[in-house]
Structure 1
Amino acid sequence: MTDEHAHEVDEAQRRADRFGKLPARVHPDDAVAMTETDPPQDRTTPAGGEDQWMLRVAAG
């Protein structure tokens, strides 16, 4: 075993110790299809206008 190979094996072991093993792969049949939707059209305009509403939400 060369020093370079031993170093690679050591690094691989450290990675495995730090991060553990990867989760199992998701089978394509188990995946869920996502559908993009438009935002609801019946949303009322916030009091004070959209700009003031964004300022209130962003502050907190």
Structure 2
Amino acid sequence: MKDKLYKLIDLKSIITLSMIFALIFGWFVNKVSTEQFIPLVTMIMTFYFARNKANTLE
């Protein structure tokens, strides 16, 4: 359990999650359009989950 928590708190995870929260905030205050929001969040989440899956396979 501690290993999963430590992996969640690594720098790449923090950067990924902060980027998503920033995009969500920008979308709510109308600084990021829907045309920009959906592809960016999809791309970030795909990278995050693909990286986590690749790490578990090693």
TM-score normalised by the shorter chain: which range applies?
0.3 to 0.5
TM-score, normalised with respect to structure 2: 0.33
TM-score, normalised with respect to structure 1: 0.32
More helix per residue: 2
Where relative contact order (Cα < 8 A, 6+ residues apart) is larger, the structure is: 2
> Between Structure 1 and Structure 2, whose CA radius of gyration is higher?
1
